[in-house]
């Protein structure tokens, strides 16, 4: 197979990355219209189900090696401080303690995760490794830190007034928004506030490092084994090939687990010093004060429109509370990219606070930005006197409004129509009622990327028993990527999914696979798996052609059999593979570049129906209709689960989730799951979920991503539904009983 | 202190420090890592095990207080657990699977006591088991399917 | 830091002696263990009261007697309680999560510490924990009480509201008294909302007579597994409707069905709870036929 280096572009959560990648020739034929694709497109249970339901699935926190040491981290109780005293020797003297490292210590080439000027409550100061968790905790106590407490800033407004920006503020303009706003028939100003949502993956951030003479092995709960490898290798000055990163199963990440994290760096350093395996696992509190959050944002919109509701100009600004880290998540992207609007000005101010770092959280920026902008649009619809969905249809854009480039596919209008039909949108006013319980229905659009891209490599092997093994260099954070890989290979090989094994989560097995994020994973790996499986298929058919003396082009693989097109031959595939002995037929595949000159995006519409108890302020989401355009659906069962998960996290964001920072001490007061509420099974609404749109004609296999899309429109749709129910608009999420009752005058 | 326990039908005799949580003893001393710990403070239900048939949080249960008890964890195998496993698989009652052991234990406790629960009873019984991936619909359907007449 | 001894006392006398020496009483441990983990009111020893035979529910003479270490879930499941003390059953069902109800005991529920997020903060020592400052008053008290005071945290026990409305009495190792007398406001000298003396612990709670109707309604932050933002219990004996609320004051509090928010003005961030209290009092009243 010939391989070549090509230059390709991929959009990662709104940031365009240009990469050189090694790409193999891919001669896999696309499906013809109407051709059978099974099991692609059929609901398939997870291939990992047995492991996950018997407790045999090994997560990073479960890794126990002989001689394992437990690590723990001393963290600042103050929002800003200078450590004036720290007794490292006392900690070293605690029985069972094997290593203690203090501020500034760490890997040779990397920044130390430990500091004697902790800039937030939770910042790491020292780390210990000991024979037991109890001994490690005793060592932390023995450190007896003393602090000079310094002033701090945690409020967004205060940080903005100080012009203390973590990332330089940006301004983006197209057209002439000032003139267009001045000339608009209708203008509207609207403000929304999004809370800091905490990821709370149930598996905490964790690493187990084992420094051996031959190199470093590190188990990491990571969404990106290859990024993790690169970080560790660079920090410790090791060749990447001498670092092996393993992530067999991971318990959720939602954006918070890219790379190896400070857990990995600290565990590796402690293992390097002790030459013993070291495990470091965050407590729930550490998760919630150090491991990231969705950036809270204050968003202001000024919208100018024609009398009939056509957008003329939007000026939008956002102040984002970044804490002590993160990148400027694209919070105003919805303004720029969903609708046809010739004049736009966007201003983003990412401010620094004495809080932990912000970290990408499922559709970072875009979800909270959609929450604000889609509600502002409903306010416009009301002012214009037009149905909110009609306003969206009126401002539909056939091409990317920013660049003018066409989309590889876009079925957003179909999403509106189908969602409206499924939700009973036309009769929505009849829902409302005038008693204590008010009902309402609201809609929001969804825009996201999700085209994926190279590099992504896959290998498929089939041996004697015709039980294929797929190897991919990715990790499955729980979305079902491994199952989807099996489904794709199954179609080419004609071998049932339950006979297929997928090996993933290990950098020692195969080259780079995509990270699990950006709704890019499956769109990236799917064509590579298909290509690899196709190569194996071709080889099996070639051998069968010789064996049965029928032209390979007249043979096919189905249901574990080699069949001739004319129906005269039906033999088990093992008739061919059985001759392999201990050899196997293998094929490799790689992801080719994305189409040039066009944008690859996903779209959708959700409609929420809510009931608001005006006596208690409790909002119940009764029903969500979710219609998304994600290209080809590989596994409808997994896809529906992704949608359910997005919707539930969206409900959490809108109704109950909010990090609360004490203004007096600058510490988080609800860093546990008692006071930081996430939805329970009792909060589950009825969900009607459909996918529209054919496979994307410009992408191999036509697959776009689905991780982010379902969370994006949920908050805006609920917000619009609540406003429809109450006739009052709530400006700040989450919409807790307190905020609802206060909005109603309590 | 000395503790005698039956775990998934097997008798065990353990020497544990009195402050240690059952979850840690299961995971670290007995290598029964199927039981997961997600919060360690009794808020999420992930570490749920069955102690004499009752769903309890093993992170807040002192191992020393379990002397003479019968314990069931996700590693066990009973006809009911197998039925639940099949139903969770068929209804996609999980995504990452980290909460799944606890979900299975709570579901088993419910169905032992209430063989044919209503939807409302399922929601009440499962409300202490958080699933951040949001697999609740599948969980609800799976429990209903594993019930008598389901 | 978490290291402590665990004792199964031979009898109430041994338990009392150990408690007097600074041990902490444990029922289900659901409140105690997280406190010890976070260094809240630390102790070197816990005394497990569940081995003293204090568990059980007895119905007699129209009333009911519930042992202090009876799991909350048993109260929820007891048919007699469901039939004659619906409000108590509803309050038991409102407690925490299913697992917390299986583990948690009636006595532990009545004696649990406040859920205030400053009291529970591992890095702060608030006034109630013996410190100088009620951080809630100067900080974020959106979920706190409706009346000013040294401590503005709210009583959390759902059972206490239901039992208060039912005119329950409690028994301790030293005395019998109305449930209301179990609680008092913490003072500078005594930073506890309980009147229990050193070595004293609850042994039972008794409801002397069944009401004609009773109910407990709760508003939480989500559909299930939420401590009450406000919880209101009502019990009707003939024409007399008695009500009690949690989530509004430092102590479980009797309220006037005709004027539930009397003397509860609300603080800066909690005035919204007045509306909630009015709604729930009205709902609870309606549920008992007021």
Q: Is the pLDDT of residue C203 over 90?
A: yes
Å between B26 CA and nearest CA of chain A: 11
Order of strands across the sheet with A501-503? A501-503, A469-472, A457-462, A585-590
Q: Vertex C202, ends C60 and C75: CA angle to 5°?
A: 50
- Are A46 and B92 within 8 A, CB to CB? yes
With H, G, I as helix, E, B as strand and everything else as coil, classify residue A122. Answer: coil
Task: Give the side-chain half-sphere CA count within 13 A for A143.
Answer: 30
DSSP code of residue A715: H
Q: What distances in angstroms separate CA C164 from CA A90, A456, C63, C157, one per listed residue?
A: 52, 65, 14, 11
DSSP code of residue A304: E
- Give the closest of A137, A662, A736 to C221, CB-based: A736
Give the pTM: 0.98
Which residues on C lie below 8 Å from A138 (Cβ)? 1
Quick one: pLDDT at residue A21? 84
* Any C CB within 8 A of B39 CB: no
- Give one DSSP letter per residue of chain C, joined into a string: ----EEE--SSHHHHHHHHHTT-EEESSSTTHHHHHHHTSS--SEEEEGGGGS---EEEETTEEEEETT-BHHHHHH-HHHHHH-HHHHHHHHHSS-HHHHHH-BHHHHHHPPP--TTTT-TT--BGGGT-SB-HHHHS--TTS-SS-SS-------HHHHHHHHTT-EEEESS-EEEGGGGB----SS---SB-PPTT--EEEEEE-S--SEEEEEEE-SSSSS---SEEEEEEEETTEEEEEEESSSSS-EEEBTTBTTTT----TTTTHHHHHHHHHHHHHHHHTT-
Quick one: pLDDT at residue C153? 98
Contacts of C248 (CB under 8 A, 6+ apart): C145, C146, C147, C154, C230, C255, C264, C273, C277
Buried b (16+ CB within 10 A) or exposed e, B14-47: bebbbbbbbbbbbbbebebbbbbbbbbbbbbbbb
- Taking the CB of residue A583, how many other CB atoms lie within 10 A of it? 11
User: Which chain B residue lies closest to C50 (C-alpha atoms)?
Assistant: B65
- Are A673 and B130 within 8 A, CB to CB? yes
Beta-bridge partner residues of A628: A604, A691
Contact present, B26 and B47 (Cβ < 8 Å):
no
Closest CA to C35 of C94, C99, C116: C116
What is the spatial distance between Cα A247 and Cα A643, in angstroms, rounded to a whole number?
25
Å between A196 CA and nearest CA of chain B: 16
- Give the closest of C34, C50, C224 to B41, CB-based: C34
Question: H/E/C letters for each residue in C182-218?
Answer: HECCCCCCCCCCECCCCCCCEEEEEECCCCCEEEEEE
Question: Is residue A411 exposed (0-12), middle (13-18) or buried (19+ Cβ within 10 Å)?
Answer: buried
Å between C94 CA and nearest CA of chain B: 10
With H, G, I as helix, E, B as strand and everything else as coil, classify residue B24. Answer: helix
* Any A CB within 8 A of C127 CB: no
Q: Which pairing describes strands A297-305 and A311-321: parallel, antiparallel, or unpaired? A: antiparallel
Give me the sign of the Cα torsion angle A708, A711, A717, A719: negative
Mean pLDDT, each 10-residue run in order, chain A (746 residues): 76 81 86 91 97 97 97 98 98 98 94 97 98 97 98 97 96 98 98 98 98 96 96 96 97 96 97 98 98 98 98 98 96 97 98 98 98 98 98 98 96 98 98 96 97 92 97 94 98 98 95 89 95 97 97 97 95 96 95 92 98 98 98 97 98 98 98 98 98 92 96 98 98 98 94
Does the ipTM exceed 0.90? yes
DSSP code of residue A669: S
Q: What distances in angstroms separate CA B58 from CA A285, B66, B102, C110, one per listed residue?
A: 18, 10, 10, 23
End-to-end CA distance of chain C: 51
Structure tokens at A588: 């490799």
Calculate the CA dihedral of residues C170, C174, C177, C182 and round it to 10 degrees: -70
Contact present, C72 and C101 (Cβ < 8 Å):
yes
Alpha-carbon Rg for chain C, nearest whole angstrom, is 18
Contact present, C126 and C133 (Cβ < 8 Å):
yes
- Give the closest of B27, B122, B132 to A201, CB-based: B132
Q: How sure is the predictor about C1, in pLDDT bands with cuts at 50, 70 and 90?
A: low
What is the spatial distance between Cα A393 and Cα C151, in angstroms, rounded to a whole number?
55
Quick one: pLDDT at residue A693? 80
What is the spatial distance between Cα B40 and Cα B58, in angstroms, rounded to a whole number?
9
- Are A251 and B92 within 8 A, CB to CB? no
Please tell me chain A's helix, strand, coil percentages from 3-state DSSP, rounded to the nearest 5.
30, 25, 40
Residue with tokens 């805006």: A716
- Are C279 and A615 within 8 A, CB to CB? yes
Quick one: pLDDT at residue A266? 98
Q: Is the pLDDT of residue C31 over 60?
A: yes
Q: How many helices (H) and strands (E) does chain B have?
A: 5, 5
- Give the closest of B41, B133, B136 to A684, CB-based: B136
What are the pLDDT digits (tens) for C127-142? 999 999 999 999 999 9
Contact present, A227 and A516 (Cβ < 8 Å):
no
Q: Which H or E element spans position A446? A: strand A437-448
User: Which of C77, C99, C109 would best serve as a mutation to test chain B binding (most B beta carbons within 10 A)?
Assistant: C99
């Amino acid at each position: 197979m010939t391989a070549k280096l090509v230059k390709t572009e991929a959009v990662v959560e709104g940031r365009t990355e240009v990469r050189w990648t090694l790409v193999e020739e891919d001669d896999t034929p696309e499906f013809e219209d109407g051709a059978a694709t099974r099991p692609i497109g059929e609901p398939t249970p997870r291939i990992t189900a047995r492991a996950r339901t018997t407790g045999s699935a090994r997560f990073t926190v479960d890794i126990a090696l002989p001689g394992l040491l437990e690590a723990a981290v001393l963290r600042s109780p103050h929002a800003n401080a200078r450590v004036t005293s720290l007794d490292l020797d006392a900690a070293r003297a605690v029985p069972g303690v094997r290593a203690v490292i203090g501020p500034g210590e760490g890997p040779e080439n990397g920044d130390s995760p430990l500091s004697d000027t902790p800039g937030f409550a939770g910042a790491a100061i020292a780390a210990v490794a000991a024979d037991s968790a109890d001994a490690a905790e005793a060592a932390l106590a023995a450190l007896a830190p003393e602090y000079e407490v310094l002033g701090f800033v945690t409020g967004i407004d205060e940080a903005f007034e100080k012009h203390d920006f973590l990332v330089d503020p940006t301004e983006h303009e197209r057209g002439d928004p000032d003139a267009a706003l001045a000339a608009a028939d209708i203008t509207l100003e609207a403000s929304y506030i999004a809370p800091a949502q905490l990821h709370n993956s149930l598996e905490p951030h964790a690493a187990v490092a084992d420094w051996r003479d031959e190199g470093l092995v590190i188990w990491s709960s990571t969404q990106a084994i290859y990024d993790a490898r690169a970080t560790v290798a660079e920090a410790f000055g090791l060749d990447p090939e001498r670092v092996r990163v393993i992530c067999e199963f991971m318990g959720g990440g939602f954006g918070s687990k890219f790379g190896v994290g400070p857990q990995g760096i600290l565990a590796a350093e402690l293992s390097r010093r002790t030459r013993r395996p070291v495990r470091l696992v965050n407590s729930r509190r550490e998760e919630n004060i150090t491991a990231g959050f969705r950036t809270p944002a204050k968003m202001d919109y000024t919208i100018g429109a024609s009398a009939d509701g056509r957008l003329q100009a939007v000026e939008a600004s956002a102040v984002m509370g970044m804490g002590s880290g993160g990148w400027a998540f694209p919070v105003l992207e919805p303004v720029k990219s969903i609708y046809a609007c010739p004049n736009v000005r966007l201003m983003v101010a990412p401010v620094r606070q004495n809080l932990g770092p912000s970290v990408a959280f499922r559709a970072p920026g875009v979800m909270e930005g959609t929450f604000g902008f889609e509600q502002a649009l409903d306010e416009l619809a009301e002012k214009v006197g037009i149905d909110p969905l009609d306003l969206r249809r009126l401002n539909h854009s056939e091409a990317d409004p920013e660049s003018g480039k066409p989309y590889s596919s876009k079925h957003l209008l179909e999403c509106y129509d189908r969602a409206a039909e499924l939700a009973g949108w036309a009769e929505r006013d009849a829902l409302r009622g005038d008693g204590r319980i008010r009902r309402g229905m609201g809609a929001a659009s969804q825009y996201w990327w999700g085209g994926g891209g190279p590099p992504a490599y896959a290998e498929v092997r089939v041996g004697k028993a015709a039980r294929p093994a797929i190897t991919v260099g990715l990790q499955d954070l729980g979305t079902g990527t491994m199952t989807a890989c099996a489904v794709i290979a199954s179609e080419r090989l004609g071998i049932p999914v339950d006979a297929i094994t997928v090996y993933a989560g290990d950098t020692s097995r195969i080259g780079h696979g995509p990270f699990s994020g950006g709704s890019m994973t499956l769109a990236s790996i799917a064509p590579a798996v298909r290509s690899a499986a196709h190569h194996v298929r071709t080889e099996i058919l070639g051998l069968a052609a010789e064996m049965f003396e029928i032209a390979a082009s007249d043979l096919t693989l189905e249901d574990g059999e080699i069949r001739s097109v004319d129906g005269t031959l039906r033999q088990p595939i093992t008739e061919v593979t059985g001759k392999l002995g201990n050899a196997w037929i293998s094929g490799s595949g790689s992801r080719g570049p994305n189409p040039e000159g066009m944008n690859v995006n996903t779209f959708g519409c959700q409609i929420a129906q809510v009931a608001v108890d005006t006596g208690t302020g409790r909002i119940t989401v009764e029903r969500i209709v979710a219609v998304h355009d994600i290209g080809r659906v590989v596994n409808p069962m997994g896809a529906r689960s992704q949608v359910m998960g997005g919707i539930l996290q969206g409900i959490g964001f809108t109704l109950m989730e909010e990090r609360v920072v004490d203004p007096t001490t600058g510490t988080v007061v609800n860093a546990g799951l008692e006071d930081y509420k996430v939805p329970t099974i009792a909060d589950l609404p009825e969900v009607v979920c459909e996918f529209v749109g054919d496979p994307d004609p410009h992408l191999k296999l036509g697959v776009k991503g689905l991780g982010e899309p379902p969370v994006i429109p949920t908050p805006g749709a609920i917000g619009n539904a609540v406003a429809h129910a109450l006739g009052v608009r709530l400006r700040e999420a989450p919409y807790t009983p307190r905020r609802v009752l206060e909005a109603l005058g309590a | 202190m000395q503790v005698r326990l039956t775990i998934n039908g097997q008798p065990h005799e353990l020497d544990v420090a009195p402050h240690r949580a059952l979850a840690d003893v299961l995971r670290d001393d007995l290598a029964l890592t199927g039981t997961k710990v997600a919060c360690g403070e009794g808020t999420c239900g992930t570490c749920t095990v069955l102690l004499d048939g009752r769903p309890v949080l093993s992170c807040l249960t002192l191992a020393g207080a379990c002397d003479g008890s019968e314990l069931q964890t996700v590693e066990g195998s009973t006809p009911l657990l197998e039925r639940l496993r099949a139903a969770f698989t068929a209804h996609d009652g999980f995504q990452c699977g980290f909460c799944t052991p606890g979900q299975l234990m709570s579901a088993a406790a419910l169905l032992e006591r209430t063989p044919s629960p209503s939807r409302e009873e399922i929601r009440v019984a499962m409300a202490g088991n958080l699933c951040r991936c949001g697999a609740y619909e599948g969980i609800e359907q799976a429990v209903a399917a594993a019930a008598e007449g389901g | 830091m978490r290291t402590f001894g665990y004792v199964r006392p031979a009898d109430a006398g041994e338990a009392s002696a150990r408690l007097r020496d600074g041990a902490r009483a444990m029922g289900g441990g659901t409140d105690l263990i997280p406190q010890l983990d976070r260094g809240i009111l630390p102790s070197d020893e816990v005394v497990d009261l569940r081995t003293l035979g204090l568990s059980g529910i007895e119905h007699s003479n129209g009333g009911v007697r519930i042992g202090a270490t009876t799991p909350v879930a048993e109260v929820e499941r007891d048919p007699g309680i469901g039939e004659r003390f619906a409000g108590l059953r509803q309050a038991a069902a409102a407690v925490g999560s299913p697992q917390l109800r299986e583990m948690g005991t009636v006595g532990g529920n009545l004696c649990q510490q406040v859920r205030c997020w400053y009291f529970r903060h591992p890095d702060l020592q608030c006034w109630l924990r013996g410190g100088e400052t009620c951080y809630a008053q100067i900080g974020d008290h959106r979920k706190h009480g409706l009346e000013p005071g040294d401590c503005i945290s709210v009583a959390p026990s759902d059972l206490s509201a239901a039992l208060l409305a039912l005119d329950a009495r409690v028994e301790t190792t030293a005395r019998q008294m109305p449930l209301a007398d179990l609680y008092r406001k913490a003072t500078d000298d005594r930073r506890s909302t309980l009147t229990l003396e050193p070595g004293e612990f609850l042994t039972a709670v008794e409801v002397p007579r069944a009401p004609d109707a009773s109910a407990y309604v709760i508003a939480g932050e989500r559909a299930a597994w939420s401590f009450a933002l406000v919880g209101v219990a009502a019990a009707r004996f003939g024409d007399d409707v008695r009500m009690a609320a949690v989530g509004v004051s430092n102590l479980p509090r009797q309220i006037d069905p005709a004027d539930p928010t009397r003397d509860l003005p609300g603080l800066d961030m909690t005035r919204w709870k007045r509306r909630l209290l009015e709604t729930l009092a009205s709902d609870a009243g309606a549920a008992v036929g007021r």
